[in-house]
Copies of this chain bind each other. A is one copy, B any other.
Amino acid sequence: MNDQQNIKPHVIGLDLGGTNAVFGIVDQRGDIKATTAIKTQDYNTAEAFVDASVHALEAIIEQTGGLDKIKAMGIGAPNGNFYNGCIETAPNIKWAHETTVPLAKMFSDRLSGLPVAITNDANAAAIGEMVYGVARGMKNFIVITLGTGVGSGIVVNGQLVYGSDGMAGELGHVRVVRGEEGRLCGCGRKGCLETYCSATGVARTAREMLSKTDRPSLLRDMNPEDITSLDVSIAAGKGDTLAKEIYEFTGRMLGEACADFATFCSPEAFIFFGGMVKAGDLLMNPIKQAYNETVMNVFKGKAQFLVSGLDGASAAVLGASAIGWEI
């Protein structure tokens, strides 16, 4: 902790999602001192979005002692590129849908030149775990975010892996099933990890398993198209065998993929982040088992398998804010 950080005890975090843009002012311990939010899609241009954001921010900045107390701002956003400070086309945000938005510079210009950095949400989660969460003190680990998609943030030698273009760490798009039988992915290719191990992947597995057999299951009481990963988890909790097998399949896919990831950077931990983590041992046990069955001998038993140490509701804002300490 240097003098400057002592003088400026806060950072701003912005978790930019497809629905909400959530702001928090956070101290070095990861306590959120103030928070506010606006709707991401209520604006037609990036300029209008930043205007409204700064207006909302001014109130909480004032409330926590003013801009002088703020060291920097971190943004976690889809396709956020750390190197150039831009959102590089985000399909789910209408003012960034077909264009590159220099969001870091736009915020910095409106906040008296405050240092502002941006990265994608999974990288933000990784920095969040390193600064405030279960990866404190670790220098080599992988955060895997399990949500609508599968994202990842990779830390090597204590530094986030951004790669040559700022876009590294897309482990959700490692192809775990090659050839034509792989599931079609939103990225246009087939067989990506994301199509099996995201929340939507779990629902897809449920529909496949229900249609392939006529085994009894609580899930048969639902319209197959409405089944979510949470429904599967609840059914499994009630002892439903088929639902348990769906998580077993999902966990094995993830564990085998992690065994491949270990050959890259031999992490001391894999950290799982996002809503699906609530499934607990139902998901984590098959991950660990499949990993230890399939990983190279030299890596066996070395990596920890952890769930995020950041509070669920505010995890994404904390992650984004953590970038502010790393600039």
- Chain A positions within 8 Å of B, measured between CB atoms, are 139-140, 154, 156-157, 159, 161-171, 173-178, 187-189, 256, 259-261, 263-268, 294, 296-299, 302-303
Is the CB–CB distance between A265 and B161 below 8 Å? yes
CB distance from A257 to the nearest CB of B (A): 10
Bound CA span A177–B175, Å: 11
Most buried by B among A162, A170, A256: A170
**Are B161 and A264 in touch, CB under 8 angstroms?**
yes
Give every chain B residue within 8 A of A164 (Cβ-Cβ).
Answer: 139-140, 266-268, 302-303
Is A154's CB under 8 angstroms from B264's CB? yes
Per the bound structure, the CA–CA distance linking A297 and B171 in Å amounts to 14
A168 and B266: CB pair below 8 A? yes
Q: How far in angstroms is the closest Cβ of chain B from A67?
A: 32
- Cβ contact within 8 Å between A168 and B297: no
Cα separation A294 to B264 with both chains bound (whole Å): 20
Chain B's closest residue to A263 (CB) is B170
Flag if A297 contacts B188 (CB, 8 Å): yes
Known contacts A140-B163, A163-B140, A302-B165: does B174 contact A263 (CB below 8 Å)?
A: yes
Contacts of A154 in B (CB 8 A): 264-265
B265–A163 touching, CB < 8 Å: yes
B140 touches A173 (CB 8 A): no
Q: Which residues in B have their C-beta under 8 angstroms from that of A267? A: 163-164
Beyond the given pairs A140-B164, A167-B298, A175-B259, 5 more chain A to chain B contacts, judged by CB atoms under 8 angstroms and listed by A's residue number, are A163-B264, A163-B265, A167-B299, A168-B264, A178-B256
Could you tell me if B260 and A175 are in contact, using CB atoms closer than 8 angstroms? yes
Taking CB atoms, residues of chain B closer than 8 Å to A168 are: 140, 263-266
Tallying the copies of this chain within the complex gives 2
Considering the chains assembled together, what is the distance between the CA atoms of A168 and B298 in angstroms?
10
Asked if residues B189 and A294 are in contact (CB atoms below 8 Å), the reply is yes
Determine whether the beta carbon of B165 is less than 8 Å from that of A161: no
Q: Please, how many angstroms separate the alpha-carbon atoms of A299 and B167 in the complex?
A: 8
Does A173 lie within 8 Å of B296, measured CB to CB? yes
A297 touches B187 (CB 8 A): yes
Residues on B with C-beta less than 8 A from A173 are 263, 296
Please name the residue on chain B nearest to A267 by beta carbon: B164
Give the distance in Å from the alpha carbon of A154 to the alpha carbon of B261 in the complex: 13
A-B contact pairs, 12 of them (CB 8 A): A140-B163, A157-B157, A164-B267, A164-B268, A165-B298, A167-B266, A167-B299, A168-B266, A169-B263, A169-B264, A170-B296, A189-B296
CB distance from A288 to the nearest CB of B (A): 17
Instruction: Please report the C-alpha to C-alpha distance between residue A91 and residue B218 in the assembled complex, in whole angstroms.
Output: 53
Cα distance A264–B173 in the bound complex, in angstroms: 10
Q: Cβ of A298: which chain B residues have Cβ within 8 Å of it?
A: 165, 167, 170
CB contact between A163 and one of B175, B178, B266 (< 8 Å): that residue: B266
The residue of chain B having its C-beta at the shortest distance from the C-beta of A256 within the complex is B178
Nearest chain-B residue to A261 (Cβ)? B264
Residues of B within 8 A of A162 (CB): 157, 266
